[in-house]
Structure 1
């Protein structure tokens, strides 16, 4: 079939050909690992020892310094921001002198390598744009086909929030089918294996950085450090269903996919720096994957759609509630500000000043850093869906070609910084997921310990990484997470930036 498609139209069949070749490669790899896995693992021992040497950290830091220095002062701001945030992470570490250099270096290195492969190479950037374009086209076709089912009372009025709901149900069903046939577990195992070899983490931690729910049977065997890594990976990742919802808001799928790929090693590195392992892990045995509760493919599709009901209700309720809360807070603050001749005071304005230093350290220009900070604050304290709706408004204003300033207030941000804003809002805070993994005492201990450290030391675990320059457009991008649910306060900032010239 692939050969026939290439004969008919090779240019059109390039994507299918690449997918087929990659599939064949991994099938051969799986066949070899099944028969010679132990020998391969033993053969990798010298490489693992080499990766654990501390001198690699010096080489990475020197390379980043030289690389960013060639591109101007804004890149140096991002680089020194990286050093500052890593220092703060180590300063507030639970065991400041027990963390592993290997995890730090190669957590950063893997994120850097992913960025190079995806955004610095013509093939990587082209492949990602191809995937992003296909995802956007597919989402829009499905969206336009199904939104006609939604009405408010008897008026043909389609609410923007409701347009996301069919996508959530559909993608949940598709992903459930992919889990049943074993594709998702297979893909996650491959990524987890790379992280395990390079970063020296346990199999369960490596799997959880990509999909926390896959290691549910192993939760009772995890150490406190490993549970902390699992929780961090859950905070720093989003599901494919939510990714589809964000695309439906009009957000560029290419940048969302970029951040999704880079977040796994970065979140695991931060978790192991903040809470290093001090005892021998009990979960070093390989993680076994299963197909779940489904008996066949159709049942998997049905269960996936059923599981989306709670997600759809949660998303819709959050959008309604937090949009109303935002309006309420703005009205109250405007009333209070009017007492002091400052009626423009609002929740968004406060957030723009509070988070401005963080956005500036990410490499955003001074003028645009206030807008980026404003949406970061809305995402942090209210809802990521509300923030994405605000981002959609900024994108539409720019596309409409209106004035950049109205009454000295900037209406949208530069094209190069839409990326940093897009990816900084990406992370979906999923703290309640961890209580569905099992009621184990260790989870409550982690939450309590994090609460004490957060309140006593105002713990901020911040991380940023300068990746390089993307071609043909240079842009900074970041992955930002601040979660305050259950007094669990952490700030995770990954400067995946692709620096602005």
Structure 2
């Protein structure tokens, strides 16, 4: 039964992508098949083998150590704020982003990250059949973040046609930045976070190749990465530390606003209709939860969490998921995979704003296809959850 639902889910995801495709005749099926097979193999290795468990344990331990180092700095500044045994989401989950951001800055400065990103992107371009620029951007988005990644390709930004610009933005919405991964691991099981990161990378190419198919000419496919302005080491470090702090503050502000608004809307709906807004959304998203592999008896509850992510952000939904301890391990795993991406309404504004800051005309183009970006990124999350569901018991 599980395999039948998986096949049904894949057919629905590909069908919805095909229906929204802007050029059905240009879809190339060979790269799609290769990437789907790779997704299944990678999910099997990460979730169902000793090697995968070892890799995930290594990644998890690394982030655990990094968060421990970050806690030293946080405790020095805020150590007296909390009473013993209390927990603060801002202090314990968000502020460590400052340290991770500083570490990313150092790796950028010593040219380690640019080297890794560029050559992984080049290898991926051979697999996905897309351009080098698109492949570089997908990997860079997973490291630098959905706003910062565009700075590294700003020389090409004004020259890109609409279809290539869409692919770059879709990658930024389908992945999550490395600076925030440690925060996710404090709420979700690390193995689901790592698996989602890998599956979303290929899932983004798969869905985009259907929604927005094209062939890049060799003379157009020049990967020229913008070098950051030369700074001293401590200028760079100060800038990345402040960037990390800004991310923590922005996420905190959005959490305050969205959690409060959802609570208010739930209260209004419960008073008027006898059912909360999240429960109502749960019924709408339940079929998608079911085709992802969630048992039908838990589909409405899971659908409510999925919808919460789309209308607010992934942090709000992750915190909501942590309250549902009654859900089965299978449902918790599948929904966790779905939640690890930036696919929500607020990301449309973030990405359009980032591009507009570099090129106003292109920023307006991004704003016009914003809903299609969210549509595609949500399908990527569903696809990753379906594939992972094959190996989650």
Same fold (TM over 0.5): yes
Mapped to 2, the partners of 1:439 and 1:498 lie a distance apart of 40
Structure 1 residue 215 displacement after superposition: 2.4
Mapped to 2, the partners of 1:153 and 1:126 lie a distance apart of 37
Change in CA separation of 1:144 and 1:392 when aligned onto 2, cut-off 3 Å: farther
Mapped to 2, the partners of 1:254 and 1:493 lie a distance apart of 14
Structure 2, unpaired ranges of 5+: 142-148
Select 1:270's aligned residue among 204, 207, 216. Answer: 207
Matched, 1:136 2:64: yes
Structure 1 residue 415 displacement after superposition: 1.6
| RMSD, matched Cα | 2.9
Change in CA separation of 1:173 and 1:461 when aligned onto 2, cut-off 3 Å: closer
Change in CA separation of 1:282 and 1:268 when aligned onto 2, cut-off 3 Å: farther
Aligned to 1:209, the other structure's residue is in SS state: helix
Aligned to 1:8: none
TM-score by length of structure 1 reads 0.68
Matched, 1:305 2:236: no
Aligned to 1:416: 330
Mapped to 2, the partners of 1:436 and 1:459 lie a distance apart of 20
Instruction: Name the one with the larger helix percent.
Output: 2
Select 1:182's aligned residue among 91, 111, 119. Answer: 111
Select 1:355's aligned residue among 260, 263, 285. Answer: 285
Select 1:108's aligned residue among 31, 36, 49. Answer: 36
Aligned to 1:263, the other structure's residue is in SS state: helix
Structure 1 residue 463 displacement after superposition: 4.5
Task: State whether residues 222 and 281 of structure 1, in contact with CA within 8 Å, keep that contact through their aligned partners in structure 2.
Answer: no
Q: How does 1:111-190 map to 2 (within 5 A)?
A: 111-140=39-68, 142-143=70-71, 146-147=74-75, 149-150=77-78, 159-190=88-119
Matched, 1:261 2:198: yes
Q: How does 1:478-493 map to 2 (within 5 A)?
A: 479-480=381-382
Mapped to 2, the partners of 1:390 and 1:284 lie a distance apart of 43
Matched, 1:376 2:306: yes
Aligned to 2:120, the other structure's residue is in SS state: helix
Stretches of 4+ aligned residues off by more than 4 angstroms: 151-158, 278-282, 458-464
Mapped to 1, the partners of 2:82 and 2:53 lie a distance apart of 46
More divergent stretch after superposition (210-219 vs 169-178): 210-219
Task: State whether residues 227 and 443 of structure 1, in contact with CA within 8 Å, keep that contact through their aligned partners in structure 2.
Answer: no
Mapped to 2, the partners of 1:425 and 1:154 lie a distance apart of 29
Aligned to 1:496, the other structure's residue is in SS state: helix
Mapped to 2, the partners of 1:424 and 1:347 lie a distance apart of 20
Task: State whether residues 92 and 461 of structure 1, in contact with CA within 8 Å, keep that contact through their aligned partners in structure 2.
Answer: no
Task: State whether residues 164 and 245 of structure 1, in contact with CA within 8 Å, keep that contact through their aligned partners in structure 2.
Answer: yes
Aligned to 1:209: 138
TM-score by length of structure 2 reads 0.85
Q: How does 1:441-456 map to 2 (within 5 A)?
A: 441-449=361-369
Mapped to 2, the partners of 1:320 and 1:186 lie a distance apart of 38
Aligned to 2:160: 222
Aligned to 2:24, the other structure's residue is in SS state: coil
Task: State whether residues 169 and 305 of structure 1, in contact with CA within 8 Å, keep that contact through their aligned partners in structure 2.
Answer: yes
**1:12-33 Cα distance to aligned partner (Å, 9 max, x none):** xxxxxxxxxxxxxxxxxxxxxx
Aligned to 2:188, the other structure's residue is in SS state: coil
Aligned to 1:70: none
Task: State whether residues 147 and 158 of structure 1, in contact with CA within 8 Å, keep that contact through their aligned partners in structure 2.
Answer: no
Structure 1 residue 442 displacement after superposition: 3.8
